[in-house]
Amino acid sequence: MRASVSKDFKHWSDPIEILRCDEGDSDPFGQIQQMAVTRRDGFHWDRVSDRQTFLPLGAPNQWDSAWLVTQHSIVYDDDQMLFFYDATNKGRGAMPAWNKKSSRTSNFRIGVAQLPRDRFQALRPRKLHLDGIIETKPLDIVEDSDLKLNVDATHGQVEVKLVDYDGITIEGFSRTDCTAIKDNNGLDIPVRWGEYDRTSHWYGRSATSTCPRAYLPKTSITIRR
């Protein structure tokens, strides 16, 4: 995969390689399925989840059982993400050169897969009977703001405390002050601490940045990259 950039859509930079297939990828002339990759700047890409399949092929002999490619954009429908894709039951190497006759028998179709918003990947404790601990990078606190979690705590719970840059717990926002999120599964669940019903109660103190630290017994939490 290569990329080039342009400011006027007439003059383009020399293309540079941004991602290359290797021995860990599937045969480009055999079955093709989708993995997830991420990037922050458009040029530096990283494979996600140790190359696990993101969008699997259909069952054997189904119309999407051999070759599947997604469209470039995600369609958001309320709290669902829709992924439209082209697929067929013939591997790329088995596809004949295009002509009117072969196009009628290639069995190309368009499908759609769906996923809850932002749930590309989640973190969960390695051992479910022990706490998993996540500490984020510093977050800026603004007025009238909430800290919201995309979390599945159906069979567990989440407790959050706020710490400063030195890792010291901020008074009033400790783990014991936190109202645990439990028996709940949601995409925007607000975190509450005792008398403080909003993260913005911290706004205006000695600093306006903090590092949330979450404890996750028997719980999975989505990290938005």
Q: Say how many C-beta atoms besides its own lie within 10 A of residue 214's C-beta.
A: 24
Same domain, 87 and 161: no
Same domain, 148 and 71: no
DSSP 3-state of 220: strand
Residue 44's closest CA among 24, 17, 71?
17
> Which tens digit of pLDDT belongs to each residue from 128-159?
777 888 888 887 776 667 888 999 988 888 89
Q: Among residues 116, 135, 170, which one ends one of the domains?
A: 116
Same domain, 82 and 43: yes
Same domain, 21 and 107: yes
Q: Among residues 100, 116, 132, which one ends one of the domains?
A: 116
Same domain, 10 and 96: yes
Instruction: Give the C-alpha separation, 211 to 208, whole Å.
Output: 11
Same domain, 107 and 181: no
Residue 26: its pLDDT value, please?
67
Q: Kindly state the average pLDDT of the residues 57-64.
A: 88
Instruction: Give the C-alpha separation, 67 to 33, whole Å.
Output: 6
Residue 94: its pLDDT value, please?
66
Confidence band of 169 (pLDDT split at 50, 70, 90): confident
- pLDDT reading at 74 higher than 60: yes
Q: Which residues pair with 114 in a beta bridge?
A: 82
Average pLDDT, the chain: 79
Residue 128: its pLDDT value, please?
73
Q: Which residues pair with 61 in a beta bridge?
A: none
Q: Please, are residues 198 and 141 in contact by the beta-carbon 8 Å criterion? A: no
Beta-carbon contacts of 60 under 8 Å, excluding residues fewer than 6 positions away, are: none
- pLDDT reading at 224 higher than 70: no
Quick one: tokens of 49?
A: 């989840």
Same domain, 72 and 142: no
Confidence band of 185 (pLDDT split at 50, 70, 90): very high
- pLDDT reading at 42 higher than 90: no
Q: Among residues 116, 140, 163, which one ends one of the domains?
A: 116
Q: Kindly state the average pLDDT of the residues 194-205.
A: 60
Q: Say how many C-beta atoms besides its own lie within 10 A of residue 79's C-beta.
A: 12
Same domain, 109 and 145: no
Domain containing 175: what range? 122-222
Residue 112: its pLDDT value, please?
93
Same domain, 160 and 95: no
Give the global pTM.
Answer: 0.71
Residue 111: its pLDDT value, please?
92
Residue corresponding to tokens 């975190």: 191
